[in-house]
Amino acid sequence: MRDRFVPLAFFLCSVALAFAQPPPPGAPRRDGGPGPGPGMPPGRPGFDRPLRGGPPGKWWTDPQVVQQLGLTDEQQRKIEDLFQKSRLKLIDLSAAVQKEEAILDPLLAADHPDESKVLAQIDRIAQARGELEKANARMLLGFRGVLTQEQWKKLQTEGPGPPRDGRR
């Protein structure tokens, strides 16, 4: 009987460690502290880690980025409009991920965790994260559609922060 619980205990410890990892540098804190910007849910890609690089946060309002890319006022307006249209959905989807993670906590804290309930809850978390990722990707693809190909390439290679390809 004890041998049956060793793999489950190992799995539960691995899951707990994964949830206990600190957020990446620059990511917003779950306690509402400094992060990529107001109204941006914690740990959301696109602000912490845009599609394949680029600067974090509302980069289209950063004067340095605007100048580097040569963004027009119209492009900035279109990107801001796309962001505002996506913002509430992204907040709701981020909250859904947090809710599913909160449901998992007591399942893992139980003296004798029910493996089937834990695994089912992990599936719900993965589904919620997937929905958040897809919504964010749709928004980011909309941003990309506003930029010229040259601006997109500059954003990928010359955005603020450390060089991605060793150049600068």
Whether residue 35 lies inside any domain: the answer is no
Whether residue 165 lies inside any domain: the answer is no
Whether residue 22 lies inside any domain: the answer is no
117-168 pLDDT, tens digit each: 999 999 999 999 999 999 999 999 999 999 999 999 988 886 554 444 444 3
The answer to whether residues 136 and 45 touch, using CB atoms and an 8 Å cutoff, is: yes
Whether residue 140 lies inside any domain: the answer is yes
Whether residue 48 lies inside any domain: the answer is no
Return the half-sphere exposure (C-beta side, CA atoms, 13 A cut-off) of residue 50: 24
Is the pLDDT at 20 greater than 50? The verdict is no
pLDDT at 157: 82
Whether residue 152 lies inside any domain: the answer is yes
For residue 123, what is the domain's CATH number? 1.20.120
Domain count, the chain: 1
Q: What is the domain range of residue 112?
A: 53-158
pTM flag (> 0.85): no
Compute the average pLDDT of residues 85-104: 96
35-91 pLDDT, tens digit each: 444 344 444 344 444 444 456 789 999 999 999 999 999 999 999 999 999 999 999
Whether residue 43 lies inside any domain: the answer is no
Whether residue 47 lies inside any domain: the answer is no
